[in-house]
A = this chain, B = another copy of it.
Amino acid sequence: MAANKLSEYTITEAVRGRIADTPNPRLKQVMQSLINHLHEFAREVQLTPEEWNAGIEFLTSAGHITDDKRQEFILLSDTLGLSALVDLMHHRGESDRTTESSLLGPFYRSGAPELAPGSDISNGTAGEPLMIRGRVLSSDGTTIPGAVVDVWQAAPNGLYDVQDANQPEINLRARFRADAHGRFDFRTIKPASYPVPHDGPVGKMLSSLGQHPFRPAHIHFIVSAPGFETLTTALYIAGDKYLGSDAVFGSRPSLVVDYRDASANGSDAIEFDFVLAVR
């Protein structure tokens, strides 16, 4: 009738056994593993009641600062490298010939307008002008006419349109369609490195861990075409001092690009070919 005596060593199996009849086998697998690793963590560090309580308070603060524009739990996962790990596992086994993926991040909005080739997405926002051009290719080397290049980035003040009442409602984001030769090109302004939101519990955590909250300057892309795996990635600007210490572990050496001097055209330029995997 009563349970057998619980100890710090037997409780893990007791909890895992309790959910042995979970109807969904995948849920059972995930939860039994989670219970195991959480308990192992607590035993390994000999977590005290005061520390456990601090953890509860941290999660509570993260929950209370989270709303439809601020997602502290994603930020927590990002800064602990968990988001990047899930992303890396998801893309395991992809050919080295395809473009590497990078984190989607919290600032993507679907439904950005499709603009004509060569359009400027900066709507007059102050900044150094930049041209971006390249091709969308299949991993077999052929071009992909009609591929869609969805782009979004922060303004030089480090804020995305959704974070900044001084920007137009849709700013520094658009979709472009590759031409018959798989080519795309558009105009924008140079991105800057910026801190992730750090006025909340995750910011406090980073500070207490001796870490800065900065991401290196980057421009986000989702590149898609029928018959190909959709590519979520970003281009990072060479020379940025945070390239080796991206607060969310998103930067990848293969995605670092140099500005080319194209001043004859009135601006620097980035040239990059996105290579998609055949589905």
Contacts and interface: CB of A to CB of B under 8 A. Distances in A.
Contacts of A239: 1
Interface residues of A, number: 82
A7 B87 CA distance: 10
A210 B5 CA distance: 23
Interface in A231-257: 236, 238-239, 243-246, 249, 251-254, 256
A69 interface: no
Number of copies: 2
Chain A contact residues: helix, strand, loop or mixed:
helix
B3 A251 contact: yes
Interface in A17-48: 18-19, 21-24, 27-31, 33-48
A29 B45 CA distance: 7
A19 B209 contact: yes
A82 to B, nearest CB: 6
B11 A249 contact: yes
A41 B37 contact: yes
A270 interface: no
A1 B243 contact: yes
Contacts of A105: none
A196 to B, nearest CB: 14
